[in-house]
């Protein structure tokens, strides 16, 4: 019943910007946060940013200062603004519903299909 649909990916040169959007529908049971993950070619899927229901944000060190996560609860959307993109940012970006507890973000089994971001050098 829950659907997360990512959009906004594409090809961009290093130093450029992209904005990704996640449209959420349905109720994510027990979730109090949303996150963006990425999975590079042949790599593990890792979290790049998350945002709580109250708007508190956190970022992976590799993207801090370059990426901004935000949400619009009225529109049921989560956005990832990506600036100063680097080739190592290349990957499929996934929207996730999860939970912040203590110091960490815990992904729940709510995923979109992903949107591909390719950053060329």
What pLDDT score does 92 carry?
Answer: 98
**29: pLDDT strictly greater than 80:** no
Determine the Cα–Cα distance for residues 10 and 26; give it in Å rounded to an integer.
Answer: 27
pLDDT in tens, 68-94: 999 998 888 999 999 999 999 999 999
Do residues 120 and 10 touch, judged by C-beta distance below 8 A? no
Do residues 99 and 105 touch, judged by C-beta distance below 8 A? yes
What pLDDT score does 27 carry?
Answer: 77
pLDDT in tens, 10-19: 999 999 999 9
Determine the Cα–Cα distance for residues 107 and 96; give it in Å rounded to an integer.
Answer: 7
Count CA atoms within 13 Å of residue 35 on its CB side.
27
């Amino acid at each position: 019943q829950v659907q997360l649909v990512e959009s906004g990916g594409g090809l961009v040169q290093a130093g450029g910007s992209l904005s990704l959007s996640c449209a959420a529908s349905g109720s994510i049971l027990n979730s109090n946060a949303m996150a963006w993950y990425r999975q590079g070619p042949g790599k593990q899927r890792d979290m790049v940013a998350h945002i709580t229901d109250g708007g508190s944000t956190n970022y992976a060190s590799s993207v801090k200062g370059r990426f901004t996560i935000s949400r619009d609860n009225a529109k049921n959307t989560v956005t990832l603004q990506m600036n100063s993109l680097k080739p190592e940012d290349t990957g499929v970006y996934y929207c996730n519903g999860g939970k912040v507890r203590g110091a960490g973000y815990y992904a729940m089994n709510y995923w979109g299909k992903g949107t591909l971001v390719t950053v060329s050098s």
